[in-house]
Amino acid sequence: MKKEEIVLFGGGGHCRSVIDVIEGEDRFRIAGIVDQAEMLHEKISGYEVIANDNDIPTLAKQYKYFFITIGHIRNSRPRWHLYDKLMTYNCSLPVIVSPKAHVSKRARLGPGTIVMPFAMVNSDAEIGPNCILNTSCIIEHDTVVGFNNHISTGSIINGNCRIGDNNFIGTNSTILNNITIGDDNLIGAAAVLVKSIGNNQKYFGNPATVIGRTYV
């Protein structure tokens, strides 16, 4: 059976990790990568940079499937704006799941979301579009994760939590049961969040306390 072609947006470290997952899943053939104009024809993990962001209208006529491989560390906006732009051109963003991950058959994943190796998404969890569920993270039962979140390596979101949009949940952090997190927050590495929080805050420590604001 012939594989569908897919174009990746962003050629950094996260892209290289995503390439490994796409190759392992074996559903798509990577047609090329979109990056800065000066990177044109360079190779990233063996795949050529074929275009830059200004070429989206042309690419949308040539290809059906696209995937955002820009990372999300402190600023969620590049992934968010690129997702909106691709949607404007009716591009299809599949769900990508590593064969080494576990996703419950009762979980739901939004378009453009990737589940990296050894991540776990348990029963009745719901993950919104354009999320990164990074290596070895755990999303427990009945938790809802919104749009464009990065759940980082080794982090744990326990059951019945509600996570808003555009959040970064740092490496090895823990979100206790029944916690609500608003939008545009940064939860630092190894933080333990024991209470619900609002929007645009940075939390670090155990128990996590606010140390400042994120961008507005």
Q: Supply the residues annotated as catalytic.
A: 141
DSSP state of 2: P
Q: What is the rounded CA–CA span in Å between residue 131 and residue 150?
A: 6
Q: What is the rounded CA–CA span in Å between residue 202 and residue 130?
A: 22
Q: What is the rounded CA–CA span in Å between residue 75 and residue 39?
A: 22
Return the residue matching tokens 């354009």: 130
Please state whether the peptide bond connecting residue 57 to the residue before it is cis, i.e. omega within 30 degrees of 0: no
Strand (E) or helix (H) holding 65: strand 65-68
Alpha helix segments (H runs only) across the chain: 13-25, 56-62, 77-88
Judged by DSSP in three states, 120 sits in strand
Half-sphere exposure of 160 (CA within 13 A, CB side): 2
The dihedral region occupied by 166, where left means phi > 0, alpha psi between -120 and 50, and beta the remainder, is left
Residue 55's φ and ψ, nearest 5 degrees, are -95, 10
